[in-house]
Amino acid sequence: MNILSKSAIAPESDGKSTSAVMEDWYKRVRINIDTHNYAERLYDRRNTVLAVTNICSIVTVAVLASSVSISSAGMKVLVLALALTSAVASCLQLQLSYSEKAAANRLAARQYGALRRAIEVASGLPDRSQERAWQQREIQRQWDFAASSAPNVPERIRMLAKRQSRGRGSV
């Protein structure tokens, strides 16, 4: 979930100095970067677990079928269970599309990373300069785009990122 509103971003909307706004933006963008990085790793791990389960099941069935007599009922049940495990893992991997979710979160983290760098550059400009005002409008535009294209992330991952960010400094 990307929480973003014009009043939350616009420097003139709440009477804060532009430096305070930039510091707030920097903290928020770091949380978004961490959130999407954590989500990417989570989905990538889940995809890997399903792929390994699938491959191990297929290989085990093949080894059992080629080297062991499958005439006993116990062996037939084992081979059937492994084949079903492989089929379920394949279906889950296809339906849950964890690799696509990981890629979408990777892209979102990169977009927020670009925003972080833009905020760092804008923070070095004089407070009331035209260039800084232009930079802030450009950051708002990029942030709106990043927020609209970023996938939703489980709330527990966002909370983890917020807890981790409390120990970090600002710009």
Short-list 45, 48, 37, CA closest to 157: 37
pTM: 0.76
Domain span at residue 138? 13-165
C-alpha to C-alpha distance for 37 and 59, rounded to whole angstroms: 33
- Domain for residue 8, yes or no? no
153 CB-near residues (< 8 Å, 6+ apart)? 1, 35, 36, 38, 39, 105
59 CB-near residues (< 8 Å, 6+ apart)? none
- Domain for residue 22, yes or no? yes
Which three-class secondary structure state does DSSP give residue 125? coil
Q: Which two tokens stand for residue 91?
A: 């279906």
Number of domains comprising the chain: 1
Per-residue model confidence as pLDDT tens for the chain (171 residues): 444 433 344 444 455 677 888 899 999 999 999 999 999 999 999 999 988 888 888 888 888 777 777 777 887 788 788 888 888 888 888 888 999 999 999 999 999 999 999 999 999 988 888 999 999 999 999 999 999 999 999 999 999 999 988 866 554
- Domain for residue 154, yes or no? yes
- Domain for residue 53, yes or no? yes
Task: Give the distance, in angstroms, between the CA of residue 165 and the centroid of all CA atoms in the same chain.
Answer: 16
C-alpha to C-alpha distance for 18 and 123, rounded to whole angstroms: 9
- Domain for residue 6, yes or no? no
- Domain for residue 3, yes or no? no
Is 118 within 8 Å of 142 (Cβ atoms)? yes
C-alpha to C-alpha distance for 46 and 52, rounded to whole angstroms: 10
